[in-house]
Chains A and B, each alone.
Chain A
Amino acid sequence: MIRFSIATILLLLAAFAAQQFLSAFTGLHHSRILLVQLAFLCCAVASGQPLMLLLAFIGGFLWDAQCTLAPHPGDPAIYTQPTESLRFGYSILLFAAAGYLTQVIQPLFRQCKWLLTTALIGLTLMLYLTLERGLISFIRGELQIDQPTFLQILFTSLFTTPLAPLLLVPLWLIARACDYDDDQEPLRKHHR
């Protein structure tokens, strides 16, 4: 269990490093490949709840450290209505929510149904992005996801999802090599 946990944490950290090399597709509604979220979802589908929560904490914490903007530095007497934004750490809860969703499809992963697992991970990613954008929009006074934002979410999910098998298969192999069993049936039985 320890070896598999370390492997998934290292994979998540490697995804953070690799994310720096992936720029946005400015011509396609600023969509991008979200490797960090994908790595987390793939790890979450392969892990038990305690490990998933640990990964959600690490992933959400580092993601917010990467993305959080500074508060407006202007005089509050002039800037009386600063634009509201979500607090640092909100991604931890979002990652956990997405992690719990992906754990529902764990049986498919155990049965090596990669295509279905990939499709459902893509759907979870889309839900994650919609929820995140919805929360940002809601805290600013209106719950609104306009067409450009929806297209950005859609293209981001479409570009990211096909990479899922590249992480799912190695994770499955690592789990098997580490004999990882998240208190359920061992992976080997299903493989047979």
Chain B
Amino acid sequence: MKPLNLIALLLFLGGALWALTRSDRVVRGIQSSYYSAISPFLRTGSSLETHAREFLSDTKSAKTLEVELRQARSELNRLALIESRFQSLEAENNELRKALGFKQSAGFHVIAAHVTRRNPTTWWQTVEIDAGTNEGVRDHMMVLSKDGLVGIIDRTNPCGELSSVLLLTDEKCQVASRVEGSPEVGILCGHRGTPDGEALLRLRFLSPNAAVQQGQRVFTSGRGGVFRADILLGTIDSVEKGALDSEALVRPSVNFADLGAVFVVLPADS
């Protein structure tokens, strides 16, 4: 090997070793600097992708839109009916809570956001949303949709207008969960190798003889300090019993293939 090549190789290995031994805090600093530098491109790229998606959705045929409008109207009427019922139930619930001396549970402070980019990285299940530090979004905040838990804020962009959300379908997003109507608790996370449209989640560490059945709903348990309790995650699809523990496949309540508007949950004191 030529001396110059050898020196280059040694320098390269030294640099790689330096990078591999950086702490998480330093890595977040490096990422922040990188995204500061690249944010003009990121914003333009996000807006282009949004425009492209809107254009594609606009080209739906008039007939499809008419059917959708009719369905939306009937859905609106149904929801209006449910809302009026819900309001009366909520008032009744509050009255009962007061009567029993319970402290009223704190409501969610949320801000609405739109998905601007899907899967910006090769392997991780992430999306970018158009809400950032300017709106009060911080790392590790919960993200919901009208159907349930979507994921967690992984990173806020230094430009203050964008954030990256790690989706529930990614293996790295773990959620402490409980099964409705049973004492079973476990950890829910993404399931590898399932296409987006039929994404399933894995509920691990259930007891060996877990008495859970298909169709039972799974909620956040509130343990572990990241996710609030009682947020819908999905329904049990199947159960595999093992010698030491059981595992269930869960069908998510959120349709991740068609994610549009989401809500970032802010702390109760904000």
Contact = CB atoms under 8 A, between A and B. Distances in A.
B12 A70 contact: no
Contacts of B49: 23
Contacts of A156: 122
Interface string B101-140: 0000000000000000111111110100000000000011
Contact of B176 (A65, A74, A81, A132): A74
A140 interface: yes
Contact of B122 (A67, A68, A77, A148): A67
Given A30-B119, A67-B122, A144-B193, A17 B226 contact: no
B187 to A, nearest CB: 7
Interface stretch (B18-26, B68-76, B85-93, B247-255): B18-26
A72 to B, nearest CB: 6
A185 interface: no
Interface range on chain A: under 10, 10 to 19, 20 to 34, or 35 or more? 35 or more
A61 to B, nearest CB: 6
Interface stretch (B2-10, B59-67, B206-214, B236-244): B2-10
B119 A68 contact: no
Contacts of B42: 20
A53 interface: yes
Interface range on chain B: under 10, 10 to 19, 20 to 34, or 35 or more? 35 or more
B117 A26 contact: no
A45 interface: no
Nearest to B5: A49
Nearest to B39: A20
Interface string B149-182: 0001011000000000010000111101000000
A26 B118 contact: yes
A129 B45 CA distance: 24
Nearest to A81: B187
Interface string B177-196: 00000000001010011111
B124 A67 contact: yes
A18 B71 CA distance: 41
Interface of B: 2, 4-5, 7-9, 11-12, 15-16, 19-20, 22, 24, 27-28, 30-31, 33-34, 38, 41-42, 44-45, 48-49, 52, 117-124, 126, 139-140, 152, 154-155, 166, 171-174, 176, 187, 189, 192-196, 223-226, 257
25 contacts: A24-B118, A26-B196, A34-B122, A48-B5, A50-B7, A57-B12, A57-B16, A62-B34, A65-B30, A65-B31, A67-B122, A69-B126, A69-B166, A70-B24, A71-B24, A75-B223, A75-B224, A75-B225, A78-B187, A88-B22, A92-B19, A92-B20, A140-B171, A144-B192, A148-B193
Given A23-B117, A53-B9, A71-B24, 14 more contacts: A20-B41, A23-B120, A26-B257, A57-B12, A70-B28, A78-B176, A79-B174, A83-B174, A88-B20, A89-B19, A89-B22, A129-B122, A146-B192, A148-B193
